[in-house]
Structure 1
Amino acid sequence: MDLTYQWLYDAARDRFDSDDAMELFLPQALTPDELKRKGDDRCLSAMTQRIFQAGIQHAVVDAKWPAFEKAFSGFVPEAMARIGEADIEGHMQNARLIRHRAKLQTIPKNAQLILDIRREQGGSFVGFIADWPAADIIGLWRLLAKRGARLGGRSAAGFLRLVGKDTFLLTSDVVARLVTAGAIAQAPTSQRDLQAVQDTFNALRQSSGRSLCQLSAMLALSIHPAF
């Protein structure tokens, strides 16, 4: 099938009673300027939250996140980069946290990533994220997976969505629609397949003016109803 924006809009709109109802349902990304007003501590918090969400019900992680914020003093990167194994061991004794040692160990590693990017770019990490072009969001995924800790797979995109950066998500429904449309033959794992996905989103974005996150949601809606 030819995956045009008009077809996608009609397929997604069919799940709702009105245009307004669909628009209220679709996610909203922050603008680059809005995102830049966040601190790098919010990036490290969102990275860590997404890492803990992997393999665990998101609601469970979200309910415990205030305890994480308190235990890790708001995730200030400079302080978090200095966390050592003795500190990790202390957090492993905190019953208010999800005590997963390997995931806790990502905090100083990803704090160092933030500090390294700051040094290399001469600005904030959140500014670096905000200015990354949507037309190459898979390039940002690749950088985070390569240089970060446990940010491969869906975690890079999940982190970006949590912090407010516009990105698409490769959920099973999104992948199913892309396969049905012939954009890809199977769930994308190679860089060639990921580029084909990016190209499809870029074409839809150009023809619609919509954000990647909204197009992603519309692709998922075209497979299953919203409710």
Structure 2
Amino acid sequence: MMLDYEWLYGTVRQRFDSDEAMEAFLPRALAPEELKQKGDDRYLSAMSQRVFQAGMQHSVVDAKWPEFEKAFWGFVPEKMVLLGPEQIDGYMKNERIIRDRTKLQTIPRNAQFILDVRQERGSSFGEFIASWPSADIIGLWRLLAKRGARLGGRSAAGFLRLVGKDTFLLTSDVVARLRAAGIIEHEPTSQRDMQAVQDAFNELQQGSGRLLCQLSAMMSLSINPRF
């Protein structure tokens, strides 16, 4: 069974007073050219922010992020890759940031990941992200989980959402809608289930022309009107 877009749209539209209110609520993604124009320091910053958000209130991390930007010199990968144990020890004494050694250690590792991708592809990390097809966004999730530090689980999609790359999110409400539609039977963890989810989103996107991020928001709203 596949989700019917007309039903999904009609269900969600009832939550709003007007078409304009609904469209204003739905998330947006950046165009490929905008993603390419972002500096690789912005991608490392977003990776790091997402790593620190995991298991914490996002608002707490977000409020402290300006201090992280100052402490880590704007997250320039060429500088961050040089961070060693002594530098991490120093950051553990900085009361203005969140002092989590395990998460701090991901910064040089993810800086190396970005530099490796740049060397392999001969282009910026932003161009790499921008060129990845939305029809295989789960493939990008897998790559980030495999080669990045602490970017598995929901963190890959969370990072992409932070930088503006179009992606769906597998929140509990989205999973509930996918289960109700018979697309999956439980939380998707296997490659087979993840491909079934991707196929469902691809079909909805082809039929509606909407962004993946909007479709996942609509799925959430179809389950939880207080999304």
Alignment of 1:66-145 (within 5 A): 66-145=66-145
Q: Work out the CA distance in 2 between the residues paired with 1:81 and 1:191.
A: 32
Q: Work out the CA distance in 2 between the residues paired with 1:103 and 1:10.
A: 43
CA contact (8 A) 1:15 1:226 kept: no
Counterpart of 1:22 in structure 2 is: 22
Q: Give me the identity figure in percent.
A: 74
Counterpart of 2:204 in structure 1 is: 204
Q: Work out the CA distance in 2 between the residues paired with 1:127 and 1:13.
A: 35
Q: Work out the CA distance in 1 between the residues paired with 2:37 and 2:2.
A: 40
Counterpart of 2:50 in structure 1 is: 50
Task: Measure how far apart 1:11 and its partner are.
Answer: 1.2
Amino acid at match of 1:94: N
- Cα deviations across residues 158-185 of structure 1 (Å, max 9, x unaligned)? 0000001000000000000000010111
Counterpart of 2:189 in structure 1 is: 189
Counterpart of 1:162 in structure 2 is: 162
Amino acid at match of 1:5: Y
**What RMSD in Å do the two structures reach over aligned CA positions?**
0.8
TM-score using structure 1 length: 0.99
Amino acid at match of 1:87: Q
CA contact (8 A) 2:2 2:183 kept: no
Give ranges in structure 2 of 5+ residues lacking alignment. Answer: none
- Cα deviations across residues 176-220 of structure 1 (Å, max 9, x unaligned)? 000001011111000110000000000000000000000010000
CA contact (8 A) 2:109 2:148 kept: yes
- Cα deviations across residues 74-110 of structure 1 (Å, max 9, x unaligned)? 0000000010010001000000111000000000000
Q: Work out the CA distance in 1 between the residues paired with 2:226 and 2:134.
A: 25
Q: Work out the CA distance in 2 between the residues paired with 1:218 and 1:55.
A: 25
- After the TM superposition, which of the residue ranges 103-112 and 12-21 deviates more from structure 2? 12-21
Amino acid at match of 1:151: L
Task: Measure how far apart 1:115 and its partner are.
Answer: 0.2
- Cα deviations across residues 119-161 of structure 1 (Å, max 9, x unaligned)? 0000001110010000000000000000010000000000000
Counterpart of 2:63 in structure 1 is: 63
Q: Work out the CA distance in 2 between the residues paired with 1:79 and 1:98.
A: 20
CA contact (8 A) 1:118 1:124 kept: yes
Give ranges in structure 1 of 5+ residues lacking alignment. Answer: none
Q: Work out the CA distance in 2 between the residues paired with 1:100 and 1:26.
A: 34
Q: Work out the CA distance in 1 between the residues paired with 2:13 and 2:40.
A: 37
Amino acid at match of 1:88: I
Q: Work out the CA distance in 1 between the residues paired with 2:129 and 2:97.
A: 28
CA contact (8 A) 1:51 1:151 kept: yes
Task: Measure how far apart 1:226 and its partner are.
Answer: 3.4
Amino acid at match of 2:84: G
Amino acid at match of 1:3: L
Q: Work out the CA distance in 1 between the residues paired with 2:182 and 2:145.
A: 27
Counterpart of 1:220 in structure 2 is: 220
CA contact (8 A) 1:29 1:166 kept: yes
Q: Work out the CA distance in 1 between the residues paired with 2:226 and 2:47.
A: 27
TM-score using structure 2 length: 0.99
Aligned length: 227
CA contact (8 A) 1:177 1:219 kept: yes
CA contact (8 A) 1:36 1:127 kept: yes
Q: Work out the CA distance in 1 between the residues paired with 2:155 and 2:24.
A: 26
